[in-house]
A and B are shown apart, each in its own frame.
Chain A
């Protein structure tokens, strides 16, 4: 079964889905790719963002994206605090590889169980005017439920990209994992810089969480399901490359969508992770690696 309409629809759906995947992975690209902090709990922070969006939406009817933006600073502070703890406990002792991973693994569990205790395990979703609309361009349908998160994701990417490439602190974040000493010579405190970077990374989770709950209903443990995808994109992108993350997210989105349309959806995740395994085996530096 193959028609041009079907192909176009699959491509559009893939691009939109990919934009969302990329938004979810952006924080990891910063923390894992640029700061060398393997925050395996990142998806859990995203789910936390989803629940905050849900809470404000159901209590006061606030728009989830607005809530996501409002909570970026809060998440930034959480992230900065978490980095402090991480630095004092592991990084300073040069002990981050094994114990740092285990630490974030534990944090992931604690966030998840905390959410279960407060909200239970029912699926939650949000209401917004753009959920359930559909734009039609020729034979191609564009659901606004996917389009709006895509646009927000692109905007978020642009903002982070500009900050990272145009400001001193942004460039310092990109440099800190590569050469701490050089950074110190330029009178920047590497710990402060990493704290800033990790804060940004967790900050993006507030907005990404809001996007997630717009697209699908959320329950506390769905975060785990995205760990694989998120890391796949960060690695595929070439660690630390922000435009690479957007491209890799869209590549994965299109791959999943095409496979799902033409070969059957049950193979979609295997294809995505197949790409990841191949990339790790043959091009570990990723698509946009240094």
Chain B
């Protein structure tokens, strides 16, 4: 097997350009007169991480996780706990939240090893509710009353703290997509595909399904945790009903489905598109229609375009390009 990740491919060039752009717009304050862009972009990028993380379980392996909001919130609350404990900086919060959620993912994997498909989905739903109950009763991180985190006003050299948060989320998004892309193209990724297509057959063929499932739950949990880590700093105030908001679970499912669940590009496109539409709709339509968009677009896509946008593009754009997953070749 070649190591595609090491090759200087179009993907890494794109990633580098995006990072440089991110540095440029924050340091030189391209949008200084319009900080709304940073706020909106932060949220969209956060969904890129969540959708990509969800897709590792859902898209590659066919295991639907309804508990995205649970992982996200635990990531956010792990940061709050660490902040209360040692006033930790963000650079420490993110890996800490990631590790906590990776362990949570591993534990969930162990607990649900024997379950297939839909039982797993229900277990994740139940787990999110148990976690929310625990956070509600944990007064150290604010419990039901919520907790405040006072963020710095500025962060050199980025200027406004929100610009810094935007840049951090940009790095996390690129990291998440790179991890998903690497997994997808590795032997592990082919194992995921085998599980999705027929778990029993895969097991009979000698695919270590148990280990692969644990890898997937752990990696997916880690990424969801890091997505949640800066949440309390972004909002300035955290309480369980907003951290465990169902919208995170809905979007984490809808975005890959709309983009196309079999490749890393799908959740990226889905999150950028749906996330942007939501941010724009929040400040333009600003009514129930806003929520309706997610539902209608999701139903529309799963019925009419089962392979998502990537599937449609593939149909129209015949020549094989670099975003095709390797195992299709």
Binding site for B on A (CB under 8 A): 32, 38, 85, 89-90, 93, 95, 97-99, 101-103, 105-110, 112-114, 116-117, 224, 227-228, 231-232, 235, 266-267, 269-270, 273-274, 276-277, 280-281, 284
Contact = CB atoms under 8 A, between A and B. Distances in A.
B118 A98 contact: no
Interface of B: 58-59, 62, 64, 111-112, 114-115, 117-119, 121-123, 125-127, 129-130, 133-134, 136-137, 246, 250, 253-254, 257, 261, 288, 291-292, 294-296, 298-299, 302-303, 306
A105 B253 contact: yes
A274 B119 contact: no
Contacts of A269: 129-130, 133
6 contacts: A38-B121, A85-B303, A98-B257, A102-B253, A109-B292, A269-B133
B288 A113 contact: yes
Nearest to A105: B253
B62 A97 contact: yes
Given A38-B118, A102-B298, A110-B299, A95 B306 contact: yes
Given A106-B254, A231-B122, A277 B111 contact: yes
Nearest to B120: A280
A252 B62 CA distance: 30
B257 A102 contact: yes
Contacts of B62: 97-98
B130 to A, nearest CB: 5
B295 A101 contact: no
A277 B294 contact: no
Nearest to B304: A89
Nearest to B118: A38
Nearest to A121: B288
Contact of B126 (A38, A89, A273): A273
A116 to B, nearest CB: 5
Contacts of A266: 133, 136-137
B302 A235 contact: no
Given A280-B123, A281-B111, A98 B64 contact: yes
A185 to B, nearest CB: 25
Contacts of B288: 113, 116-117
A239 to B, nearest CB: 9
- Among A102, A105, A109, A224, find the residue whose CB has the most chain B CB atoms closer than 10 A: A102
Nearest to A103: B302
Contacts, number: 120
Nearest to B122: A231
Contacts of B254: 102, 105-106
B114 A284 contact: yes
Contacts of B291: 109, 112-113, 116
Nearest to A108: B295
A276 to B, nearest CB: 5
B296 A110 contact: yes
- Max chain A C-beta neighbours (<10 A), residue from B121, B288, B294, B306: B288
Contacts of B295: 106-110, 113
A235 B119 contact: yes
Contact of B125 (A99, A108, A109, A231): A231
A7 to B, nearest CB: 24
Nearest to B134: A270
Nearest to B296: A110
A248 to B, nearest CB: 14
Nearest to B297: A106
A98 B261 contact: yes
Nearest to A281: B111
Given A107-B295, A270-B130, A99 B246 contact: no
A277 B70 CA distance: 15
A89 B303 contact: yes
A43 B127 CA distance: 19
A110 B130 contact: no
A110 B126 contact: no
A270 B298 CA distance: 31
A108 B254 CA distance: 13
A224 B121 contact: no
B119 A284 contact: yes
Given A97-B62, A276-B123, 12 more contacts: A38-B121, A99-B306, A102-B298, A103-B303, A107-B295, A109-B298, A113-B295, A235-B119, A266-B136, A276-B122, A280-B112, A280-B123
A277 B302 contact: no
